[in-house]
């Protein structure tokens, strides 16, 4: 049994303990009525004593979480199976379709349901009832119906436990992820108000200090980019062994990865979580816009990326200081399919449910503004 929160497992074991006692008392009462007809009365009494002892022992063993080990679960099942196998020897084979362990035998399967899920529960129930049928091959139809119902009940309990465990694990993962994101946000605010401001100042003022200043400015820029990426990388589940197994990504991280000596990126400290597919499509749009800057804005052109959040809308601006152009020429280029504008930019943005606005003029660079709903 995998380690599960006690808050989930403990109530189930209390329910099993209660069921075990109730079914044991019912079985002992039925066996008291059958005692005079038992073929081997001594063995019959021994089986009932062992059944009672096993019920009491299970009460104390399963009450201790550290004792709920595989060997205990399967020893419980094998012990129940062994007592059930003594039915024919103690009661005889004539007319006693109900084994000496009675309905108490079903508790072992229910216990396996809590410990190992529906498959173990159903298989163990089939083994026990198969043994009963082997000893009494001609039971009445209602007996077959009872066995089928108990098998389905044990399997259903196991399935319910499986679903509860999955829900509990997912809830814990979300709580851990939220705590990790909260801590990163706190650190990001501290660093943003201190270290990043100093690095930005060095980057801005360094070129005025000569060659060494330019080198310092370049290093400051590189460190700023790395620090931003480290602080904003929040799309990794702290409990997941496969970091790619996520449904959402922090799009601010994707934007920071576009930073270079010619591209300046500005993103907020808070994460922008988008569905993975939407984040990849939007990142492809940004990549295409920057490719157009490199191809058409001029050799000395620089670009700036800005990310803002307005309610449920993400606003991304891509601006350059290149040669710009006539808006009519850009419209004609889009109609002709050139520059990747029609499909790679407008097409993708439209599929994401957003809008794309282009502003340009000769000698004044190009500015794209993309407005995308965060939740589709």
> Do 269 and 122 share a domain, yes or no?
no
CA distance 44 to 167: 45
Q: What is the pLDDT of residues 142-180, one digit of tens each?
A: 667 777 777 787 778 878 888 887 887 787 887 877 777
Number of structural domains in the chain: 2
User: What pLDDT was estimated at residue 224?
Assistant: 73
Task: Please tell me whether residue 266 adopts helix, strand or coil conformation.
Answer: strand
For the chain, the average pLDDT equals: 81
| % residues pLDDT > 70 (the chain) | 86
Domain boundary at 131, 149, 172, which? 172
CA distance to 38, 84, 108, 302, 317, per residue, from 359 (Å): 97, 83, 73, 16, 11
The mean pLDDT of 122-145, rounded to a whole number, is: 78
Q: Is the pLDDT of residue 52 over 90?
A: yes
- Structural domain includes residue 75: yes
Instruction: Kindly report which listed range (21-30, 266-275, 311-320) carries the lowest average pLDDT score.
Output: 266-275
> Do 154 and 25 share a domain, yes or no?
yes
The mean pLDDT of 287-302, rounded to a whole number, is: 85
User: What pLDDT was estimated at residue 2?
Assistant: 44
The mean pLDDT of 334-354, rounded to a whole number, is: 77
User: What pLDDT was estimated at residue 245?
Assistant: 41
User: What pLDDT was estimated at residue 56?
Assistant: 94
CA distance 37 to 33: 9
> Do 168 and 47 share a domain, yes or no?
yes
CA distance 12 to 68: 13
Q: What is the pLDDT of residues 222-271, one digit of tens each?
A: 777 777 666 655 444 444 444 444 577 888 888 888 888 788 888 887 78
> Do 251 and 363 share a domain, yes or no?
yes
Q: How confident is the model at residue 48 (pLDDT cuts 50, 70, 90)?
A: very high
> Do 116 and 261 share a domain, yes or no?
no
> Do 137 and 264 share a domain, yes or no?
no
pTM over 0.75: no
What residues pair up with 248 in beta bridges, in sequence order? Answer: 275
Q: How confident is the model at residue 292 (pLDDT cuts 50, 70, 90)?
A: confident
> Do 162 and 37 share a domain, yes or no?
yes
- Structural domain includes residue 186: no
Q: Is the pLDDT of residue 203 over 80?
A: no
Domain boundary at 132, 153, 172, which? 172
Instruction: Kindly report which listed range (52-66, 226-240, 346-360) carries the lowest average pLDDT score.
Output: 226-240
User: What pLDDT was estimated at residue 315?
Assistant: 94
- Structural domain includes residue 218: no
CA distance to 18, 29, 104, 153, 187, per residue, from 25 (Å): 11, 6, 9, 21, 61
The mean pLDDT of 89-115, rounded to a whole number, is: 81
Residue-range definition of the domain harbouring residue 329: 243-373
> Do 52 and 161 share a domain, yes or no?
yes
Residue 39: closest CA among 115, 75, 114, 93 = 93
- Structural domain includes residue 235: no
> Do 59 and 163 share a domain, yes or no?
yes
Q: How confident is the model at residue 93 (pLDDT cuts 50, 70, 90)?
A: low
- Structural domain includes residue 189: no
Domain boundary at 122, 146, 172, which? 172
User: What pLDDT was estimated at residue 237?
Assistant: 45
CA distance to 150, 316, 358, per residue, from 31 (Å): 20, 78, 87
CATH number for the domain including 264? 3.30.565.10
- Structural domain includes residue 194: no
- Structural domain includes residue 281: yes
- Structural domain includes residue 303: yes
Q: Is the pLDDT of residue 5 over 60?
A: no
């Amino acid at each position: 049994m995998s380690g599960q929160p006690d808050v989930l497992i403990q109530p189930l074991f209390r329910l099993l303990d209660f069921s075990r006692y109730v079914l044991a008392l019912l079985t002992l009462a039925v066996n008291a009525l059958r005692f005079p007809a038992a073929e081997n009365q001594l063995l019959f009494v021994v089986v009932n004593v062992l059944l009672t002892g096993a019920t009491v022992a299970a009460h104390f063993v399963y009450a201790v979480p550290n004792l709920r080990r595989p060997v205990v679960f399967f020893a419980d099942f094998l012990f129940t199976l062994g007592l059930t196998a003594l039915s024919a020897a103690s009661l005889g084979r004539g007319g006693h379709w109900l084994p000496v362990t009675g309905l108490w035998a079903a508790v072992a399967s229910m216990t396996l349901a809590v410990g190992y899920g529906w498959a173990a529960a159903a298989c163990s129930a089939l083994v026990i009832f198969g043994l009963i049928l082997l000893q009494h091959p001609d039971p009445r139809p209602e007996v077959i119906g009872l066995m089928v119902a108990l098998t389905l009940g044990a399997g259903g309990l196991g399935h319910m436990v499986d679903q509860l465990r999955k829900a509990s694990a997912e809830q814990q993962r979300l709580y851990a992820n939220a705590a990790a994101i909260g801590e990163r946000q706190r650190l990001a605010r501290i660093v943003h108000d201190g270290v990043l401001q100093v690095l930005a100042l060095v980057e801005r003022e360094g070129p005025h200090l000569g060659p060494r200043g330019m080198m310092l400015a370049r290093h400051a820029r590189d460190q700023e980019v790395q620090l931003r990426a480290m602080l904003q990388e929040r799309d990794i589940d702290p409990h997941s062994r496969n970091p790619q197994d996520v449904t959402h990504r922090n799009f601010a991280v994707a934007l920071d990865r576009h930073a270079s000596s010619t591209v300046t990126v500005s993103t907020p400290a808070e994460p922008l979580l988008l569905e993975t597919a939407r984040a990849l499509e939007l990142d492809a749009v940004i990549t295409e816009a920057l490719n157009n800057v490199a191809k058409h804005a001029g050799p000395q052109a620089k670009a700036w990326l800005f990310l803002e959040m307005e309610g449920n809308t993400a606003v991304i601006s891509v601006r350059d200081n290149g040669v710009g152009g006539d808006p009519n020429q850009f419209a004609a280029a889009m109609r002709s399919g050139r520059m990747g504008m029609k499909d790679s930019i407008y097409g993708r943005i439209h599929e994401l449910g957003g809008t794309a606005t282009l502003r340009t003029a000769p000698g004044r660079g190009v500015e794209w503004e993309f407005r995308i709903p965060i939740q589709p």
